[in-house]
Amino acid sequence: MLKRNSRFISILLVFILLFSWPLAAWATEADNPELLQEVSRLIAKYFIRPVDESILTKTTIKDMVDSLNDPYTAYYTQEEYKSFRDSTEGVFGGVGIRVEQIGDYVVVVAPLKGTPAQKAGLVSGDKVLAVDGENVVGKGLEYVVSKIKGQAGTRVVLTVEREEQPGLLEFTLIRENIQIEVIEYDMLDENLGYIRLNTFSRTAGKEFRKALTDLKAQGMEGLIFDLRDNPGGYLNSALDIAADFADKGETLLYVIGRDGLKDETQSLSDALNIPTVVLVNGGSASASEIVAGAIQDLGKGVLVGTKTFGKASVQTVFELSNGGALKLTTAKYLTPGEQVINGIGLTPDYIVEDIEAQLDKALSILKEQLDITSPQAIVLNINSPVAIVGAKEVALDTKPLLQNGRLLVPGRFLAQALEGQITWDKGTQTVTILSGGRTITLVPDENRGLVDGAELKLEVPARLVAGRIYVPLRLVCETFKAEVYFNQASGQVQILP
């Protein structure tokens, strides 16, 4: 529950969506004098900064909106408004990216999961330079969006510039009708829950609590909350979810309007009080930053990943008398600790670049907080000839090897650590590891082996180096039911028998 000063019809922190609807029908409806006055009054009263009278007396809505020089303010006809609502609820046609305008460039905020844009490889931060060969640098956001959107099944070619990559990239996309899955969740090992929120739809808060209820019923003791590549949505939904993590009376957000005064939103309910790690990246924006920022500032969890996008303006959608709507920038926001996010983003507590390593780090943090460690937990580092078994340091004959992205570890040490046996047959030049009634037989430098007598193709072979045998870590651990967590950034490996 929330306590706040409620002044607006509905508030959004969303980026323009690339979905399939026609350009604004400024004529006819926009020339209606009563509608002009209605829009003018709303702009005069609610826009983020005072507006000159010369703008408020423009003779068309298009001129009035364009003169504000704000990429997030837009007028929607009745048909466009319906499409806009559909897009924020998770159903729209197009290529599946959300964008914003920064200077002369239209920039990708995030590709949506499973869409043509994500499959093609577009990423947060890509600058759109051309659409179907037409240079769009310096063109307005709505114009560029109108060139990209279109009917499902049609083709569009985007030319983009990517930071720290030489030359330009070209992507050929086939537009689709896209269904966004708002939320996904599952129970991981050791009673750790995982929730991924893809968009802050109107129903996101309700769906989030349903996921929490289901996971707690399964015994969840810690939570990984994945907000990577979630570009935003409804402010109300963001605050609804943030309140689940805050204690009663704690501040969730400060909203600063045109008068410079801070409106404070507080939680009216008790906190979830469960160890939490939030995953974020450069595609986590706006509403995602509100939730992540509140959790971080209030000390209700830690952030893992990379710096977030950095958007901190609030858009309010005012429904108009003709069935259309005016989306207007009305405020900016600060986190509970009054962090300035706009153009900066949130810095994670743990900066982890590698995508898989981000989840591994989150699991490691929660396991440590919950003391989910075996007395014989094994910790290795690819840069060290020393291992830790339980609380004891053990010297290795040599350091682990990293080959083609896969880890090979000294076979004798690993077999003993897993309470198994290892033998070397000089005649057949094979190594055999036995543990818990299961058997692995490997031939050095051959991409094949036997597991319980069944032949298996290996991603990386065993190695015989200076008389010492190295075996594939993941194969051995998976066969003997041990968990493996590898942080590529730090080189640390944790094995839980």
Number of Cβ within 10 Å of residue 302's Cβ equals 19
Question: Which stretches within 21-162 are classed as H helix?
Answer: 33-46, 53-56, 61-66, 78-88, 116-120, 141-148
Find, among 103, 178, 94, the residue nearest to 141 by Cα.
Answer: 103
pLDDT of residue 92: 54
pLDDT of residue 3: 55
Residue 465 scores a pLDDT above 90: no
If pLDDT is split at 50, 70 and 90, which confidence band does 252 have? Answer: very high
Q: Select, from the ranges 113-117, 132-136, 401-405, 427-431, the one with the highest average predicted confidence (pLDDT).
A: 132-136
Find, among 28, 59, 55, 32, the residue nearest to 43 by Cα.
Answer: 55
Number of Cβ within 10 Å of residue 254's Cβ equals 18
pLDDT of residue 84: 62
The yes-or-no answer on residue 311 being catalytic is: yes
The span from the CA of 310 to the CA of 343, in Å, is 5
Q: Of 147, 300, 311, 361, which is the active-site residue?
A: 311
The span from the CA of 380 to the CA of 397, in Å, is 13
The yes-or-no answer on residue 307 being catalytic is: no
CB 316 within 8 A of CB 12: yes
The span from the CA of 258 to the CA of 11, in Å, is 16
Dihedral of the alpha carbons of 290, 294, 295, 299, in degrees to the nearest 10: 160
Supply the mean pLDDT for the chain: 85
Taking the mean position of all CA atoms in its chain, how far away is CA 484?
Answer: 24
Number of Cβ within 10 Å of residue 374's Cβ equals 12
The span from the CA of 433 to the CA of 427, in Å, is 17
pLDDT of residue 5: 41
pLDDT of residue 89: 53
Q: Of 226, 229, 240, 297, which is the active-site residue?
A: 297
* pLDDT greater at residue 38 or residue 231: 38
The average pLDDT across 105-109 equals 88
Instruction: Convert the pLDDT of each residue in 276-327 to its tens digit.
Output: 999 999 999 999 999 999 999 999 999 999 999 998 888 888 999 999 899 8
Side-chain-facing half-sphere of 102: CA atoms under 13 Å: 15
Residue 424 tokens, joined: 């070397």
* pLDDT greater at residue 216 or residue 376: 216
The span from the CA of 250 to the CA of 2, in Å, is 10
Instruction: Convert the pLDDT of each residue in 195-229 to its tens digit.
Output: 999 989 889 999 999 999 999 999 999 999 999 99
DSSP H or E segment with residue 454: strand 454-457
pLDDT of residue 426: 85
Distant-in-sequence, close-in-space partners of 228: CB < 8 Å, separation ≥ 6:
196, 279, 280, 281, 283, 284, 305, 358
Q: Of 83, 87, 286, 313, which is the active-site residue?
A: 286
Find, among 283, 232, 279, the residue nearest to 117 by Cα.
Answer: 283
Please indicate, yes or no, whether the overall pTM of this predicted structure exceeds 0.75.
no
Sole residue written with tokens 């094979």? 430
The yes-or-no answer on residue 20 being catalytic is: no
In angstroms, what CA-CA distances link 161 with 124, 134, 135, 285, 394? 11, 15, 12, 21, 50
Residue 6 scores a pLDDT above 50: no
Find, among 451, 420, 410, the residue nearest to 442 by Cα.
Answer: 451
Phi-psi region of 118 (alpha: psi -120 to 50; beta: other; left: phi over 0): alpha
pLDDT of residue 16: 40
Residue 133 tokens, joined: 């060969």
DSSP 377-443: -EEEETT-SEEEETTEEEE-SS--EEETTEEEEEHHHHHHHTT-EEEEETTTTEEEEEETTEEEEE-
If pLDDT is split at 50, 70 and 90, which confidence band does 355 have? Answer: confident
The average pLDDT across 431-460 equals 91
Residue 341 tokens, joined: 């996010």
The span from the CA of 281 to the CA of 289, in Å, is 10
pLDDT of residue 239: 94
CB 296 within 8 A of CB 303: yes
Side-chain-facing half-sphere of 238: CA atoms under 13 Å: 32
All domains of the chain in start order, with CATH: 7-179 (2.30.42.10), 183-315+327-369 (3.90.226.10), 378-496 (3.30.457.10)
Instruction: Convert the pLDDT of each residue in 11-36 to its tens digit.
Output: 445 444 443 333 344 444 556 889 99
Dihedral of the alpha carbons of 475, 480, 481, 482, in degrees to the nearest 10: -70
Residue 436 scores a pLDDT above 80: yes
